Amino acid sequence: MTEPLPDRAAGAAETTSPSWSRRRQPLTRARAFRISVPYLLIFPVVAAIAVILGYPLYNLVKLSFEKYGLFELIRHSGTWVGLDNYSSVLHDPVFWHTLLRTAVFTVVNVGLSIGIGTLLALLLVRVSAWVRILLTAGLVLVWSMPVVVAVQVWYWMTNFQNGVVNYALTQLRIGDYEQHDWYATTFSQLGMVTTLIVWGAVPFIVVTVYAGLAQVPSELVEAAEVDGARPWRVFLDVTFPILKPIFLILTSLSIIWDFGVFTQPYLLIEQSRIHASNFLMAIYLFEEGYFKSDFGRGAAISILMLVMVAGMSVFYVRRMVRMGDVE
Amino acid sequence: MRARIIVAALLTAAVAAAASTAATAASKASAAKSITVWLQTDAQADNWKPIVAAANAQFEAAHPGVTVNVQYQTWGAHLQKFDATLAGGTAPDVIEMGNTEMTKYMAAGAFQDISSSKSSLPNSDSWLQGLALSGRYGGKLYGVPYYAGSRVVTYRTDLFKKAGLKVPTTLAQFQAFGAKLAKGQPKGFSPVYIAGTDWYFAMSFVFDYGGGIATQVSGKWKSLLASPKSVAGLTAYKTFFNAVSKASKTTDESHPNPYDVYAQGQAGSIIGPAWFSCCVGKQYTGVTGQFVVPSHTKGQVIPGFLGGSDLAVPLGGDKALGVDWIAAYTSTQSEKALQAIGNIPNSTALTNASKINERAATRSWFVPTAKNWVNVENGNILRNMLAQILTGKLSVRQAAASAGDNIESILNG
């Protein structure tokens, strides 16, 4: 409100002069422009989101309330069944087993990725520049590998008949791994998937945490060390509180990624071994929706998954914020 | 202003794109200058491709100006793709369907009724009964028999000779070959390579012992897997597998392809379609023979799964041209060529008992003809049961009972 003052003073002096309106007009337009700039700037994004996300989401919600199988697909119209799809999913014991399995799977994967990633980031700070470059280059290579290619490499390495892992373990006399089946039980199937996912997720976490570590003032760390704090205490009381926002983001993102993971388990476990006894949520959704051509039920499962992930994220964010307030 | 221009430009582009797709759709409907045919990748093999090309040439000669666009699909993904094209109204004009996949799609009305064209289709009065049945639903004809296949043993004649073995006449004899063929071979060598979860082969044991998968009792499907006869068959499969195969107990019959294992010298014999002889590797081509898997009863062959394919015209496809192409591709000449490369032709007028695979098909079994059967296949119910049995996770009886319950709930669902 400081700007208009000289303006109004000038206007008062020449009320009737035509130059007043000439000077005033470009100004209002400028002001209107200034007010609308933020809206104009977000308009393309909002429009794009509305078209790309909003419309399909609307259709998905609609689909989840319809009986929509192969018969309806061919006729391009479903029949409204209210909450039938939801109640059939919620009464399916496979859904609850899968949910529990996926929850455990997510906790293990997120925990391992964040844990190993943080340790590697702390290591990066301490090693020489040369080793750091080498390590970073390796991590970026892992990061840049497309998921499907990574799965193929993993699959080839753990192959039953001619796998290099079995060969190496046998040659190293760790045990007789000739013709060892790495996909024989649900536990070992999901174990292989976990290794692959953690391997792929670690680089992003290392790079992000490492960047965050650069923000930790070295005086604080030194002061704590002078006071006799052990490395673990320094990390817990100095480094971690400063990096908390970063961990918050990384953990929420990892939960979202790992809870809905599809490509790695579907390709690595292999279609012919996929069964209700090793389903993860996204695979359960795919089997029910696409393989059984029950698209309405599939839509209901995906809405439930969406609600769960959103719920988890909100819960987690609020807890972290509250923890910050207490301190 | 900039933003508005960009938005306007984007909108224009979107409208233009929509208009152009609408235009192509319209032009396709008005004057079909090409038809789209979906065949499985099997037909892409070197010895199979010329048969497709010959049918295309014959069709194009009869319909000047119409070209045939053949697209090859994989068994694992073609149904999902087909669903997507049905939803989008871009289904092909002709599609190859596995005979176990037909019922679900016929029941949903995915194909055009071609009953009135039956008399104009080659050899339609002598179609193989098993295949012809898989293309009929509610008294109407939707699928034209394309070819059938049976499973035989492809074996190394040099290894059999060295071990002093002749073609076995009973299952017990064949099983006893395991130890003799494995002598002097590396640890991973399979005398008979069988993928652990090859349910087509495993179910042959079940049917050989008089068991079955499921049967309809007063309108309801009832599992037969846990019956004493089926359990005896499954137990025999487990014993046979353990005696002769070093394959993974949890893998299927295409990871790896059995003929690749054979070509690498890691198998004395493999089970599969007769055309497996195509790909046994140069070094073994001269020392490869085939025989029919014997039954546990002397003098009989084991009942084999009568696999096969049908050709159908999906909803939205060009029916007249589609049927004409099917007629060209299933002509006597075409079917004879398919027979020459190891398939069973679609008509009893063409079958020849001197062919090994046709001898193997003299005793055969088929899956329950329920509209939800394909969900049992896709849900890997039988494969999982076999993995449980072979790895010893569950007893034969337990695994069969649990798979049976599962099958009942899917088929009656």
Q: What ipTM was reported for this prediction?
A: 0.79
Q: Nearest CA of chain B to the CA of A11: how many Å?
A: 30
Least Cα separation, residue B106 to chain A (angstroms):
10
Higher pLDDT, B207 or A33: B207
Q: What is the pLDDT of residue B378?
A: 87
**Angle between helix A295-326 and A55-64 (nearest 10):** 120
Distance from CA of B80 to the nearest CA of A (A): 7
What would the pLDDT profile of B359-370 be if each residue is shown by its tens digit? 777 788 888 888
The C-alpha atoms of residue A121 and residue A212 are separated, in whole angstroms, by 9
- The whole-number average pLDDT for the span B69-95 is 92
pTM value is 0.81
Residue B123 backbone zone (phi > 0: left; psi -120 to 50: alpha; other: beta): left
Measured CA to CA, the distance from residue A326 to residue A89 in angstroms comes to 40
* A41, A69, A160: residue with CB nearest B248: A160
- List, as ranges, residues 76-95 from A with C-beta within 8 Å of B: 76
Length of chain B: 413
Residue A25 confidence (pLDDT): 56
The answer to whether residue A76 scores a pLDDT higher than 60 is: yes
pLDDT in tens, A301-314: 999 999 998 888 78
Residues of B in contact with A178 (CB under 8 A): 187-188
Q: Is the pLDDT of residue A217 over 70?
A: yes
Mean pLDDT, rounded, for A187-211:
95
- Average per-residue pLDDT for chain B: 88
Average pLDDT over residues A246-275: 91
- Whether B379 sits inside 8 A of A275 (CB atoms) is yes
**Chain B, nearest residue to A71 by Cα:** B108
Residue A323 pLDDT: 64
* pLDDT tens digit sequence for B203-246: 999 999 999 999 999 989 999 999 999 999 999 999 999 999 99
Spatial separation of the C-alpha atoms in residues B59 and B32, rounded to whole Å = 14
How close does chain A come to B89, measured CA to CA in Å? 8
* Residues contacting residue B62 through CB under 8 Å, at least 6 positions apart: B324, B328
A271 at B interface, C-beta within 8 A: yes
Mean pLDDT to the nearest integer, A50-58: 91
Phi-psi region of B65 (alpha: psi -120 to 50; beta: other; left: phi over 0): left
What's the rounded Cα separation, in Å, for the pair B369 and B100?
8
- Give yes or no for residue A165 having a pLDDT over 70: yes
Name the residue among A174, A178, A156 with its Cα closest to residue A166.
A178
At position A184, the amino acid (one-letter code) is: A
pLDDT of residue B32: 57
B216 contact partners, CB below 8 Å, separation of at least 6 = B222, B368, B370
| Residue A293 near chain B (CB below 8 Å) | yes
What pLDDT shows up at residue B28?
42
The DSSP bridge pattern shows strands B288-291 and B151-156 to be antiparallel
**B7:A44 CB<8 A:** yes
CB–CB of B330/B122 below 8 Å?
yes
Segment among A27-36, B113-122, B160-169, B209-218 with least mean pLDDT: A27-36
Name the average pLDDT for chain A.
87
Contact B379 A291 (CB under 8 A): yes
Give the residue among B212, B195, B194 at the shortest CA–CA distance from B203. Answer: B212
Element (DSSP H or E) covering residue B312? strand B307-312
pLDDT of residue B128: 86
Which of B7, B188, B384 has the CB atom closest to A179's CB atom? Answer: B188
A272 has a chain B CB within 8 A of its CB: yes
Classify burial at B148, counting beta carbons within 10 Å of its beta carbon; exposed 0-12, middle 13-18, buried 19 or more.
buried
pLDDT at position A325: 61
Q: Distance between CA B23 and CA B311 in Å, rounded?
A: 29
Name every chain B residue with its beta carbon within 8 A of the beta carbon of A70. Answer: 83, 86, 104-105, 108, 110
Q: Which residues from B are below 8 Å from A when comparing CB atoms?
A: 3-4, 6-7, 76, 80, 83, 86-87, 89, 104-105, 107-110, 187-188, 197, 246-252, 254-256, 261, 266, 315, 375, 378-381, 383-384, 387, 391, 393
A37 touches chain B (CB under 8 A): no
Q: List A residues 48-77 in contact with B (Cβ-Cβ < 8 A).
A: 69-71, 73-76
Among A52-56, A189-193, A320-324, B26-30, the least confident range: B26-30
Q: How far apart are CA B77 and CA B276, in angstroms?
A: 22
pLDDT given for residue B225 in this prediction: 96
Q: Percent of chain B scored above 90 by pLDDT?
A: 65
A-B contacts (CB, under 8 Å): 101
Q: What is the pLDDT of residue A141?
A: 94
Residues of B in contact with A179 (CB under 8 A): 187-188, 246, 248
Confidence of residue B5 (pLDDT cuts 50, 70, 90): very low
Q: Is the pLDDT of residue B269 over 80?
A: yes
Candidate from A130-144, A180-194, A258-272, B342-356 with smallest mean pLDDT: B342-356
- The per-residue pLDDT for range A105-140, each reduced to its tens digit, is 999 999 999 999 999 999 998 899 999 999 999 999
Instruction: Check whether A10 has a pLDDT greater than 90.
Output: no
pLDDT at B380: 93
pLDDT, position A314? 81
